[in-house]
Chain A
Amino acid sequence: MTLLKTRNLDISVAQRKLIYQLELEIESGTSWALLGRNGAGKTSLLHTLAKLMPAAAGEIYIEGESLAKLEGKPLAQRIGLLFQQGLPAMPKTVYETAMLGRYPHHQSLWRDDPEDMAVVENALRDFDLAHLSSRSIQTLSGGEAQRLALAQLVAQAPSLYLLDEPSNHLDLTHQLKGLQRLKSKLTSHRAALVMASHDINLASQICDHVLLLMGDGNYLAGPASEILQEDHLSEAFGCIIRRVVSGKEAFFFPSA
């Protein structure tokens, strides 16, 4: 099923056209990497899809409905966003913060439903935070705070997960394990994932599709194996990028 569809989508920031005529179709169950150099429009695209900023032109459809017509809780049930800068450090506990993710689903004004509590407890367990649930989030390390932001997003349980540099502050184990846990939810929830990242290798380990922004308004979109080629990547990043195969996996690194 097509979860997200864009038609002739243009994105501009400060009169500069970053993405031109984007035609994207994201099927449920798939995971997309959003790659490109600094200032290529990765965050702007994610914010446009989350309706935080307007598109310069074009249309966006989520589950067949026009994004322009969605607002508030119905929108939050469909689209969730992990911000690049994570969550602000407020005087709240880990559990309370993760529970905020249930906001678009709460039935009662006052009571937390057992279902909400179960979802939050599972999300905290998924990101190894269960033992910290009563800790104040001001005492968390950078990586723990990032895992909490991910847990809050999983508690929100949107159909489309938008992740802006999810591997920020995460150690290598949590980068791979955390994102794989999130990915494992996609098929059962008929959801999809788009993650902006600077880590091509992590992207190729997690994602089956790639949207590569060239920085001049053009883009390449398709299955990861087609897009993750030395020539495409070198052009997009403006430096020579080599591909090295080790066992079944391919790795990418810049070459001097």
Chain B
Amino acid sequence: MLLLLLTLLAFASVLFSLLSGSLTLSLHDVLAALFADEEGLQLQIVREIRLPRTVAAFLVGGLLSLSGVIMQILLRNPLADPFILGVSGGAAVGALTAIFLGGSVFWLYQSAFSGALLSILLVFTLANAGKRWSVTRLLLTGVVVSAGWGALINLLLTTSSENTVQSMLFWLMGDLSQSRASWHSHALLLAGMGGGLALSRALNVLTQGDQNAQTLGVRVEALRTTLYLAASVLTASAVVIAGSVGFVGLIVPHAIRILGGRDHRYLIPGAVLLGGSFLVFADSLARTILAPQQLPVGVVTALVGVPSFILILRNSATQSS
């Protein structure tokens, strides 16, 4: 039932996004652009400008929410989000370096992805070195590496010229205006969701703690490594498309849990659908509220997300008491 409603919400968000923009289009135009074999300026706007951006927004929202679900269970911490272990910091340093050096969009993507990969490997190696693995150790390593990236980001910002700082800030706040999702990210989201569903029973058991899960037949160590790498790669591919769009990966998993999807069999697809729809709505607002000026979508996710999350939290509190 929940999943059905969320699927409807996803379709609604995509239609809303395709309808909104500086050029007013009718529902008929949009549907014609999607399904009819016609040509024309309006159809071109939908097909070549609005649709790719909408798809990118949905993908990024889905990737970040899925990664958030995984991080929260891996770190056993409700405050965990996709960026907590430094993946976005590494990507940001890569991206800003590319902007600093004046590289093309292609190089920005490559550089951001390499930075993210470097960060993933660095944290994983340091957290696993020597002593036995623990959640605290992974969390501390991630937070410290993040802080290191933060220092490098500030260094790049302070030494860059005014023009480049503007585009750096947009990237850091999360921005979809340049975004085009490649087929890799589609495949990753699908693979992540499929893998997540296949592991969802094990994830349910893991919420009982490592030792409990182990005696119930979960191979905890292998599962943890899988979760860390999966969450990191999902985050990296989202960050490469749209920068560090905050807030989605933190609150969407909680929203689904509060709406009744604590079981990972529902939480995983639910978070992907809600995260995708949420970011599509947020991006539609980001490009229309102050048109022709475009806002970074990260600003909108926080501005819209904070009050709606507080509302959900309040409702759930009154229901359960």
Residue A106, interface by CB 8 Å? yes
- Interface flags, B184-224, vs A, CB<8A=1, else 0: 00000000000001101110110111011011111100000
Residue B265, interface by CB 8 Å? yes
Q: What separation, in Å, do the CA atoms of A88 and B215 have in the docked complex?
A: 15
Contacts of B209 in A (CB 8 A): 88
Pair A106/B201 contact, Cβ less than 8 Å: yes
Contact of A83 among B201, B204, B212 (CB under 8 A): B212
Sorted nearest first, the 7 A-B pairs with minimum C-beta distance are A76-B217, A104-B217, A73-B217, A81-B215, A103-B216, A72-B219, A103-B205
Q: What separation, in Å, do the CA atoms of A76 and B216 have in the docked complex?
A: 5
Pair A90/B207 contact, Cβ less than 8 Å: yes
Contact of A100 among B197, B205, B214 (CB under 8 A): B205
Contacts of B218 in A (CB 8 A): 72, 103
Residue B137, interface by CB 8 Å? no
Give the shortest distance, in Å, between A54 (CB) and chain B (any CB). Answer: 12
Contacts of A103 in B (CB 8 A): 201-202, 204-205, 216-218
Residue B29, interface by CB 8 Å? no
Pair B215/A110 contact, Cβ less than 8 Å: no
Q: What separation, in Å, do the CA atoms of A94 and B198 have in the docked complex?
A: 24
A residues 51-69 touching B (CB-CB < 8 Å): 51-52
Query: How many A residues touch B, CB cutoff 8 Å?
Result: 29
Contact of B263 among A76, A96, A104, A156 (CB under 8 A): A96
Tell me the dominant secondary structure on chain B's binding face. helix
Residue A41, interface by CB 8 Å? no
Q: What separation, in Å, do the CA atoms of A100 and B204 have in the docked complex?
A: 7
Which residue of the partner chain B has the closest CB to A77? B217
Which residue of the partner chain B has the closest CB to A81? B215
Contacts of A51 in B (CB 8 A): 214
Residue A79, interface by CB 8 Å? yes
Which residue of the partner chain B has the closest CB to A74? B217
Pair A100/B216 contact, Cβ less than 8 Å: yes
Residue A109, interface by CB 8 Å? yes
With a 10 A CB-CB cut-off, give which of B201, B205, B215, B265 has the most chain A CB atoms.
B215
Q: What separation, in Å, do the CA atoms of A92 and B203 have in the docked complex?
A: 13
Pair A50/B215 contact, Cβ less than 8 Å: yes
Contacts of A182 in B (CB 8 A): none
Contacts of B211 in A (CB 8 A): 52, 83
With a 10 A CB-CB cut-off, give which of B197, B198, B212, B257 has the most chain A CB atoms.
B212
Q: What separation, in Å, do the CA atoms of A72 and B218 have in the docked complex?
A: 5
Pair B205/A52 contact, Cβ less than 8 Å: no
Residue A75, interface by CB 8 Å? yes
Q: What separation, in Å, do the CA atoms of A81 and B211 have in the docked complex?
A: 10
Q: What separation, in Å, do the CA atoms of A136 and B200 have in the docked complex?
A: 20
13 pairs of residues in contact across A and B, judged by CB atoms under 8 Å: A50-B215, A51-B214, A52-B214, A87-B208, A91-B257, A91-B262, A92-B262, A96-B262, A103-B216, A103-B218, A106-B201, A109-B200, A109-B201
Residue A178, interface by CB 8 Å? no
Give the shortest distance, in Å, between A45 (CB) and chain B (any CB). Answer: 15
Give the shortest distance, in Å, between B59 (CB) and chain A (any CB). Answer: 24
With a 10 A CB-CB cut-off, give which of A91, A103, A104, A109 has the most chain B CB atoms.
A103
Contacts of B212 in A (CB 8 A): 83, 87-88
